[in-house]
Structure 1
Amino acid sequence: MFEYSEEEGRYAAMHHPFTAPMDEDLDKLETDKKNCRAKAYDIVLNGTEIGGGSIRINVPEIQEATFRAIGMTDEMAMSRFGHLINAFKYGAPPHAGLAYGLDRLVMIMIGADSIKDVIAFPKMQNANELMMNSPDAVDAKQLDELSIAITRAE
């Protein structure tokens, strides 16, 4: 459920901090993060992962403990996710999520060697998209029409 980040000097969620821990591993949220297992799953087709998901946390105390396990203070968790934690107090139903890669599935179906072969507008490693020359400059009129303000760090 967690992996240690040398860069950040703390444990981080392997997927996201809303994945439920295995019931038998609840105590490990505080005592043994490295060996705490998640209620997570993958969809695999012919040996290729095409999607993944998890059972989500729906108990406020477990959500709070998960946030603490990744280094959030209780104050920080309430500031960022208080709406969610408070909603759980009213009885959120058990729920799950799944995200599958349609592009991966199409790649397998047509026998493509690269996922870039099935993505309509693939990006380069630097996030440029060559067909539309994006990203590109935006003029002040466009920003104003969309009520977007650009602030520069000092």
Structure 2
Amino acid sequence: MAGERSVTDEPEYDYVIVGGGTAGCVLAARLTEDPDCRVCVIEGGPSDVGDERILRPRNWINLLGSEFDYGSCRMGADDDPLAVLDPQLRVRGVSGVRVVDASPFPTMPTINPVLTVLLAAERAADLIKGTQQPGEAR
């Protein structure tokens, strides 16, 4: 029948987002504002079901220094040899990959970091969609 896909057809997506957490879901929602854009969200990593460290928002301070921490993915200018990300969140030397979470933050925000991650995801969506340039205010 016309329009049907067989099980052997490989799906095609405009974007694949690995990580369906705060930033991943915001980014997917923004990118799919265009009805012609196909996005696949994949949750990578272990389940946090029942993990009280994650499920209690007021517990964020206790995650500092843990595997859920910040600062593991430095962002910087082209002449910064330690920066793995450019100012548009792209991974240097890898085509089509961006990092949108708390890992580029040089220090942890003094407030609950979820808000800051949400704002980073909003900015990433603007950069990907081409509606904002690096350094440009929204």
How would you bin the TM-score normalised by the shorter chain? under 0.3
**Under a length normalisation based on structure 1, what TM-score does the superposition of the two structures give?**
0.20
**Under a length normalisation based on structure 2, what TM-score does the superposition of the two structures give?**
0.22
Q: Which has the larger radius of gyration?
A: 1
The structure where strand makes up a greater share of residues is 1
